[in-house]
């Protein structure tokens, strides 16, 4: 009993698949072939269709529907769309990797340069070539007061206390 059921199932599956393949073989429509070229594309119509092949350049004005005609009733259509960019830059993986590595190297070089400049030890005090104006400051501060060298004041005693 099991063998008859398995045999019938296999025959049914075989009949279904061959029927589908036969239908696709008999009623299939031929396809338009498109080959990409360096400067554009080539549209190739199937046998007995006109025009046999058409070469199109990559330009925006070539964007439209193209038709392969066998007879008045049998036509195959394909829509071709071109999008071009005048100021575009094509980025491949090596360009992106080069930019990233260059950016990292430049950042490291700038960081090391700033570190080396900031960590330099100073050799001594910075000497100014300008004349001191401390006398001018004292004369403005003590204007009207009679200050004499060697005069003791309250604050002088605080400094010398031990």
Q: How many domains does the chain have?
A: 1
Instruction: Give the closest residue to 84 by CA, choosing from 106, 62, 99.
Output: 62
Note whether residue 116 is domain-resident. Answer: no
Note whether residue 150 is domain-resident. Answer: no
| Helix residue ranges, H only, 48-124 | 93-118
Note whether residue 129 is domain-resident. Answer: no
Give pTM, 2 decimals.
0.38
Range of the domain at 69: 27-93
Percent of the chain with pLDDT over 70: 57
Note whether residue 74 is domain-resident. Answer: yes
Note whether residue 63 is domain-resident. Answer: yes
Note whether residue 132 is domain-resident. Answer: no
Note whether residue 3 is domain-resident. Answer: no
Per-residue pLDDT tens digits for 83-126: 777 777 778 899 999 999 999 999 999 999 999 988 887 666 66
Per-residue pLDDT tens digits for 140-161: 555 555 555 665 666 655 555 5
32: Cβ–Cβ under 8 A, 6 or more apart, which residues?
Answer: 43, 44, 45, 46, 68, 76, 78
pLDDT at 65: 92
Sheet holding 33-36, edge to edge: 33-36, 40-44, 53-57
Note whether residue 147 is domain-resident. Answer: no
What are the residues facing 53 on neighbouring strands? 44
Q: Specify whether the backbone of 70 is left (phi greater than 0), alpha (psi in -120 to 50) or beta.
A: alpha
């Amino acid at each position: 009993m099991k063998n008859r059921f398995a045999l019938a199932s296999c025959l049914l599956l075989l009949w279904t698949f061959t029927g589908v393949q036969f239908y696709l073989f008999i009623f299939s429509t031929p396809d338009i072939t498109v080959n990409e070229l360096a400067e554009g594309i080539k549209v190739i119509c199937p046998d007995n269709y006109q025009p046999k092949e058409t070469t199109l350049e990559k330009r925006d004005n070539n964007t439209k529907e193209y038709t392969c005609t066998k007879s008045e009733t049998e036509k195959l259509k394909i829509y071709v769309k071109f999008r071009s960019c005048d100021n575009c830059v094509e980025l491949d993986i090596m360009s992106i990797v080069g930019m990233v590595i260059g950016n990292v190297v430049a950042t490291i070089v700038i960081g090391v340069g700033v570190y080396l400049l900031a960590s330099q030890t100073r050799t001594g005090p910075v000497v100014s070539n300008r004349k001191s104006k401390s006398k001018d400051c004292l004369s403005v501060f003590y204007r009207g007061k009679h200050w004499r060298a060697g005069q003791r004041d309250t604050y002088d005693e605080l400094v010398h206390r031990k």
